[in-house]
Amino acid sequence: HDALPIWGWIERGDAMPQLPRWVAQDRSGSVWAPEVVARSDGSYLLYFTAHAGAPFNVQCIGVDLGSVPQGPFRAVGDHPLVCHPEDIDSIDPDMFTDSDGSQYLLYSSGRGTATIWAQKMSRDGLTPVGGRRALIRADRPEESNIVEAPMLVKHGGKYVLFFSGNA
């Protein structure tokens, strides 16, 4: 269909017309929190949160590949990129590229006490490298056990982590 302007935006259609096989088919409406990242080869990655089917049955983070930033994106692999059922849900992916080219996927997980994690990624952005590292935990009363929506920037040689705490 033709593009429709919506509040200054133009609708371009579904960026993920076909969901990856690991996404629970009865939960297709729960694909959210997209992050589009340009790769050095001219392609684009779409990181997203979705409810995974069995054996996971929690929110996980996936990655799809596309040739243009608006999609369509196609699944990369048959499994979520990040999924830790012991943490309950993994949500809100954000890719950070350091000045040396190293890439890190930040995300939030956990119920009861949420944690924001950094996971080093391969140069192509498709494969976790080593273990993840906790950056912060929801440990302040005003956070009500919630820290989420991380975004990391480097400014003046220092790293600054933005995030939401509480509702």
pLDDT digits (tens, 9 = 90+) for 68-126: 999 999 999 899 999 999 988 999 999 999 999 999 999 999 877 899 999 999 999 99
Cα distance between residue 125 and residue 147, in whole Å: 24
Predicted pLDDT at 41: 95
Predicted pLDDT at 113: 86
The pair of structure tokens assigned to 87 is 């943490």
By C-alpha distance, which of 105, 104, 53, 46 is closest to 75? 46
| pLDDT higher than 90, residue 64 | yes
Q: Furthest-apart CA pair in the chain: how many Å? A: 49
By C-alpha distance, which of 158, 162, 109, 159 is closest to 137? 109
For the whole model, what pTM was predicted? 0.90
| pLDDT higher than 60, residue 2 | no
Cα distance between residue 89 and residue 87, in whole Å: 6
Spatial contact of 138 and 145, defined as CB atoms under 8 Å apart: yes
By C-alpha distance, which of 159, 81, 80, 72 is closest to 124? 81
User: Which amino acid does the sequence have at 11?
Assistant: E
Cα distance between residue 118 and residue 80, in whole Å: 16
Predicted pLDDT at 28: 57
The pair of structure tokens assigned to 9 is 């935006």
Q: Strand, helix or coil at 44?
A: strand
Predicted pLDDT at 26: 77
Q: 24-53 pLDDT, tens per residue?
A: 987 656 789 999 999 999 999 999 999 998
The pair of structure tokens assigned to 88 is 């309950």
